[in-house]
Amino acid sequence: MSPSSQIHSTQANTANLSSAQRTAEGFALNNLTTVAADLIEYNTMRLSCQADRLITLNLESDIEPTVAELDRLGTPIFVLSGGSNVILPEILHASVLHPTYKGIEVLAEDTDSITIEVMGGESWHELVVYTVNQGWYGLENLALIPGLVGASPVQNIGAYGVQLEDYMTHVKAFHLPTQIWHEFNKSDCQFNYRDSIFKQQAGQWLITRVGFKLHKDALKVTANYGDVSTLAMTKAEADSRSEITAKDVMQAIIEIRQSKLPDPKQLPNCGSFFKNPIIANSQFIALSNEYPNIVGYPVGDEQTKVAAGWLIDNAGLKGKGIAPILTHDKQALVLVNHSAADSNTPASQHDILATQQLIQQTIQDQFGIALEREPVWVNNEAHY
């Protein structure tokens, strides 16, 4: 049975029921709703955001009747996953859908590979650890990326030489404007660097399931980054092995990220704040003549991806900004919120914008490179 057909069959008794049928079975939107909810605990930047209502979706089958009812009420809808890549306004005039449905299902398996389908409410990092511990490999380079599985295709998450699209097989998503279920294969998703159809059509999709095809060869790893390779080999040698495994790579990446990146629970942040800019090789060569240690990676034959963190660091902005939003003192690519969680004046979008613009102008002036913000910016009406 193909992944697509199995998705349909497993949902035949729930997700495909009409809203009228669900209502008849006792569906009540109020049972899922918190009115006038503060979303400070639902975004890793810990911005206080008063939403009209917060709706917790514990079941995939609650989506259709919930959206149908909200459509009847005429209220804007905003999907909030793990809140790790979003900048929220102080007031959000919308009904916020927060998915919490979980589960991992094996769709197909042979001696070399396994295809699984993961519910969107699962923790991304916990999924990575689980698959590696099961002997299913491919996602190990994406360890410790915050957020939920359902949000992972939106910006085609990637790290240390691996992107989501390398192992993703399909996506199941609900189109909010038309209230119709869709299934996407990899090409349908229109993946690019930190981009997808879901990001291009922001606010229109609620992703509920993501499929992955993983391999079972523990020695087939991607460890092209020096610090990853070195630390992974140290772990292998400590275990009297001459070759690194996927688990060595995962553990190395976890340690590296923990040493460089702040824990959002201790120091609020939304991960990498700027995309690594891609520039023409001619511009990179010119910059290399002036800055011999500039960090860049080839993209095809004519372009180079420049490390945005290097640019910010070498512009003298590491650990700086406009209080309370400063760049992290160990990783300049990350903006951190230094306002106390219980402050009477918590940080706002305005504070983040001030530091963002300071960094962008400085990098433009010094290097002639335009930095693009990575996290999603939301206005009061739930528009992007």
Angstrom CA distances, 321 to 45, 329, 337, 360, 378, stand at 16, 11, 11, 11, 22
Query: Could you count the other beta carbons within 10 Å of the beta carbon of residue 110?
Result: 8
Q: Can you list the positions of beta strands (E) in the chain?
A: 33-38, 50-57, 77-79, 86-87, 91-99, 104-109, 113-119, 158-159, 162-163, 168-175, 180-185, 205-215, 269-272, 278-280, 296-299, 303-306, 321-322, 325-327, 334-337, 376-377
Token duo for residue 56: 């917790």
Under 8 Å between Cβ of 347 and 325:
yes
The catalytically annotated residue of 61, 84, 272, 348 is 272
Token duo for residue 135: 């002997």
Token duo for residue 383: 């528009």
Cα(342)–Cα(51) distance, rounded to whole angstroms? Answer: 19
Which sign does the torsion angle of CA 122, 127, 133, 135 carry? positive
Residue 343 annotated as catalytic: no
Closest CA to 96 of 140, 41, 33: 33
Q: Can you list the positions of beta strands (E) in 247-378?
A: 269-272, 278-280, 296-299, 303-306, 321-322, 325-327, 334-337, 376-377
The catalytically annotated residue of 194, 196, 209, 348 is 194
Cα(361)–Cα(373) distance, rounded to whole angstroms? Answer: 13
Residue 46 annotated as catalytic: no
Cα(167)–Cα(139) distance, rounded to whole angstroms? Answer: 8
Query: Could you count the other beta carbons within 10 Å of the beta carbon of residue 300?
Result: 8
Residue 194 annotated as catalytic: yes
Cα(180)–Cα(282) distance, rounded to whole angstroms? Answer: 47
Residue 174 pairs in a beta bridge with 181, 206
Cα(183)–Cα(231) distance, rounded to whole angstroms? Answer: 40
Residues assigned a catalytic role: 194, 272, 374
